[in-house]
Every structure is written in C-alpha cells, then in structure tokens.
Amino acid sequence: MTEHPPEPFVPSTRFAVPGRIVASNRAAATWQPARLVEVRRETARASTFRFAVPGWTGHLPGQHLMVRLTAADGYVAQRHYSIASPPADSGHVELTLDHVEGGEVSGWFHRVARPGDTVEVRGPLSGFFAWPGDRPALLLGAGSGVVPLMSMVRDRRLRGTDVPLRLLVSARTPEELIYADEYRDETTPVFTRVAPPGARPGRLSAAHLEPYLARPPAEGWEAYVCGSNGFAEHASRLLVALGQPVDRIRVERFG
Amino acid sequence: MTVTRGFAGRSPAGERDPRLPPGQYDAGDSWPVLSAEVTPDLTAAEWTFRVDGLVAEARTWSWEEAHTLPRSGYEGDIHCVTSWSKFGVRFGGVSLDTFLDLARPHASATHAVAYAHTGYTTNLPLSDLTGGRAWIAWEFGDGPLDPAHGGPARLVVPHLYFWKSVKWIAGLRVLDHDEPGFWERNGYHARGNPWDEERYAGD
C-alpha cells in the first residue's frame, strides 16, 4: 500500500511536444450537426467551407475536428481536418479542404456540397498543436498545411496582441497559395516551382529561417510545422540544424 | 442517423471490405506518417530496448542482443485513429512475449507504459501486450523499417489503433495500474480498440 498515488512515469528523454492544453473530452465525444452556410474558392484545388455549429464549445488555434458523412445505408466516412477559423468566430467554424484525387470525403465536399447541407462534427480535438497565444510562434506550413497556422495568424490579429509570430508558407506557385490576399508583413511566402516576377523559385531553406533563429525572442520560439510528411521532415530538420530545441517543435503531418 | 445528402461512399453498399473497422477507409498503397515530433537521428547501434518496473529482472537489450532472440513477425492489417487502415502489411522482429518472459513481470503487474527514445509515451494493459499480439519490429516488408515509420525499431500492437504502436521504442515500464500516455492525456481513449471505435475518451 502506498500513502500517495504513484508518481507518473517520466521517461529519461523529455518528450518533444508536451500537450499544452487539456482537450475537452466531452466536446470530443459528442457528434453535433454542422450546417454548411458558405463555400469560398481559395485556389483551383482548395475551397473554404463555413459551417454554423450552434453547439460549438470553442477551440484554440491549431486544433482540429472530425467530420462524419453518412450514406443512406448507414455507411460512414470520417476524416480529421484542421480548423482554419479563429476561436472568436462564435458558433461558426471554417475548414479549408484540398480536393484530393479520388477523395471520398473531400470529393463530396468539392463536387456535391452546397449551402444548407448538414454534416456532423466532433471536436475540437487534440491539444498538442494548439497555440494559446502565450509564446512567440514560428509557423512553417506548406500547401494546405497552412490551414491550422492561419487560425493562429487570424487569432493574433483579432486579439491585437504583440506576441511575436512569423509565418513561412510554401506553395508550388502563386496561384496555388491559399489565403494569398490575407497575408501581411508577418508572412513570407516561399514558391517552389514558379515564383512571381523578380523572385527565384526554390525550396524552403536555412536562409529563410536564419533571420528568425539567429535572433530569437528572449523566451525563444515555439515552432509549428504542418504539411506533407516530406515537407515536415525537411522543415523540422532545418529548424533543428539552426538550433531550435526539438522539444519546442510541434509537427502535424497530413494523413 | 443523420444521412448526408448525396453521399454514397466510395464503394456501393454490399461491396465494403469486411476487414475495415467502422469509420475506417483503405489507405491502399500509401502509408501516412503521423508523429507529433521530429524524427530522431537514432542509429541501430544507439538503439536499446528496456523492460523494467514490476518485473523480477529489469533488462536492457542492445540491437545485437535483441537480434539473437527468436524471430517472429506479424502479417495482417493495421488501423490508424485518423481513419485510414492498411491491409496485408508485414512486420518482422521479436515477439514481445519473448522479452517479457525474460524479465518476468510480478503477479501484481497489470499495465505498462511503452515509451520512445523521443520521450513519447502510451499506456497498454499487459493483456494487450502478451499472447502473441505485440512485437518489437525492425523490418517492414522485406526491408528495414524506415525512420519516419519508427525505425530502427518500433512497437507493433496491430489489434489496437496505431498510436499505441510506439515508434522508436525505448522500453516498457511494467506497472500495477493504468497510467495515461501522451495522446491519452490529450483526449484519446485509454485502450483504442478499432473494432469498438474507441477513438476518444468517452467513446
């Protein structure tokens, strides 16, 4: 018998990405109706879907939710999607979805869905990629990996906070850059295939990151990386090579 | 049941694969990588696997020592909580029973925390780790396990959602109680049985 509960097991290596917030188990467990109220085209492949979710309990930038579609015979398909909208968008959430070739769920959204349709959602889910807005944030995203990072950018703007935040967003071409009209001086776009006149296309490199990592804010950066596995591996290795501590790099990979 | 207008699913009713647990889809040839941390630079020479806690003999195996144990493997399906499943995969390594038989858990032992060289943790009942249902694997298909997928070696517990199958496995701490790991403290289910769709706490 022990008088005190046993100490939690602590591995000898500090885990890279301790959860920052406690996710609400109740919200995560409950499926609720989400009514599509607006569809906005972002690029040739990506659109933003805006939902009214009256029972939404709120989220932190960087969290995701699960969407469920149900066929008439009871078959269900469900996917995790990052939330694009800021928490202050009360009662509404926005998702920006790529149209995946042959995608069962994204195909329905891009080909069938129209305002007035209802799907089901549960969430917000997972606290590890959330940005509560307390620490300086260095955000690296590629393709639709920018979606959870945009929730952070929008939240910071709405709250008017001066916590440092930098976004480096990689896209193949200017036409494929999601949210292109919304970026301000916090953002550096990186074009890998076709760049605007006067710029050279190329992959995200140490030269893009050095200015921020050579002179980090006093409390250091919290780095958030989101994109394909190839991008996530590349970007996180660049960060480590430039001295960003591994336990302050959070990685969200598509899949 | 809330039917989604115009949604029929990828394949017609009656043709759905019985190998798919509820809410899962077939990832086909792809194998998505999902890890929350930077893939560690961990060589086979640096890798070790330890079993300690409530055991008669706490032990640590090096890569070479682990490779002297009887070979075992898993061939079958795996299921990720993010909704993809992958059919007919092959992992090769050593059955976890072999390691546990050498360490000899106490009669009071009920659970374990499995942890990675990165510090990632997950919790499992011992009953899910024994009886030929869990492996320490270093081969995938006919080749070595890729670092992004947990190489040099990972835990494989294929009857549970794959967040339980710790990449870059470093050890098992055997306990007499259940102690939530990383995702379990972040809202995920304590056990994670895909056939009962135990995705999140409360499912």
Which residues of B are less than 8 Å from A228 in CB distance? none
Probe site for chain A from B2, B4, B108 (most A CB atoms < 10 A): B4
> Is A19 a domain residue?
no
Chain B residue with Cα closest to A104: B10
The whole-number pLDDT of residue B203 equals: 86
- Among A96, A125, A154, the domain boundary falls at A125
CB pairs under 8 A between A and B: 162
Residues A107 and A149 in one domain: no
Nearest to A25 among B3, B25, B200 (CB): B200
Give residue A246's domain range. Answer: 137-253
Q: How far apart are the first and last CA of chain A?
A: 45
CB contact under 8 A, B201 and A70: no
The whole-number pLDDT of residue A3 equals: 44
Q: What does the domain layout of chain B look like in residue ranges?
A: 47-196
Distance from CA of B57 to the nearest CA of A (A): 19
Q: Show pLDDT as tens, one digit a residue, over chain A (255 residues).
A: 444 545 667 766 666 555 555 555 566 678 999 999 999 999 999 999 999 999 898 999 999 999 999 999 888 999 999 999 999 988 999 999 999 988 899 999 999 999 999 999 999 987 789 999 999 999 999 999 999 999 999 999 999 999 999 999 999 999 999 999 999 999 999 999 999 998 899 999 999 999 999 999 999 999 999 999 999 999 999 999 999 998 899 999 986
Class at the top of the CATH hierarchy for domain B47-196? alpha beta
More confident residue, B174 or B18: B174
Lowest mean pLDDT among A79-83, B37-41, B74-78, B192-196: B37-41
- Among A97, A125, A153, the domain boundary falls at A125
Which residues of B are less than 8 Å from A102 in CB distance? 10
Which residues of A are less than 8 Å from B82 in CB distance? 79-80, 255
More confident residue, B8 or B75: B75
> Is A21 a domain residue?
no
The whole-number pLDDT of residue B35 equals: 85
Q: Which of B87, B91, B95 is nearest to B74 (CA)?
A: B91
The whole-number pLDDT of residue B175 equals: 97
Residues A168 and A192 in one domain: yes
What count of other Cβ atoms lies within 10 Å of the Cβ of residue A3? 4
CATH of the domain at A209: 3.40.50.80
Residues A121 and A180 in one domain: no
Nearest to A15 among B9, B39, B118 (CB): B118
Determine the Cα–Cα distance for residues B6 and B22; give it in Å rounded to an integer: 20
In the block, which residue shows the tokens 């916090």?
A186
Lowest mean pLDDT among A21-25, B27-31, B64-68, B157-161: A21-25
Residues A233 and A205 in one domain: yes
The whole-number pLDDT of residue B75 equals: 98
Q: For B158-185, how does the pLDDT look when each residue is reduced to its tens digit (9 = 90+)?
A: 999 999 999 999 999 999 999 999 889 8
CB contact under 8 A, A70 and B177: no
The whole-number pLDDT of residue B187 equals: 81
- Among A79, A98, A125, the domain boundary falls at A125
What count of other Cβ atoms lies within 10 Å of the Cβ of residue A242? 14
Residue A18, Cβ density class (10 Å: 0-12 exposed, 13-18 middle, ≥19 buried): middle
Distance from CA of B47 to the nearest CA of A (A): 13
Average pLDDT of the segment spanning B137-149: 97
Q: Which two tokens stand for residue A237?
A: 């290795």
Q: Which two tokens stand for residue A127?
A: 């606290």
With a cut of 50, say whether residue B87 has pLDDT above it: yes
Which residues of B are less than 8 Å from A125 in CB distance? 187, 200
Lowest mean pLDDT among B7-21, B84-98, B168-182: B7-21
CB contact under 8 A, B4 and A70: yes
CB contact under 8 A, B32 and A240: no
Q: Which of B11, B140, B180 is nearest to A22 (CA)?
A: B180
Q: Which of B91, B74, B83 is nearest to B32 (CA)?
A: B83
Residues A145 and A247 in one domain: yes
Residue B158, classed as helix, strand or coil, is coil
> Contact, B93 vs B139, CB < 8 A?
yes
What count of other Cβ atoms lies within 10 Å of the Cβ of residue B44? 15
Distance from CA of A197 to the nearest CA of B (A): 35
ipTM associated with this complex: 0.84
> Is A44 a domain residue?
yes
E-assigned strands of chain B? 25-26, 48-53, 59-62, 72-79, 84-95, 111-116, 121-125, 135-140, 143-144, 154-156, 169-175
> Is A10 a domain residue?
no
CATH of the domain at A76: 2.40.30.10
* Helix A206-214 × helix A229-241 angle, to 10°: 50
Total domains present in chain A: 2
Determine the Cα–Cα distance for residues A192 and A202; give it in Å rounded to an integer: 4
Determine the Cα–Cα distance for residues A69 and A104; give it in Å rounded to an integer: 10
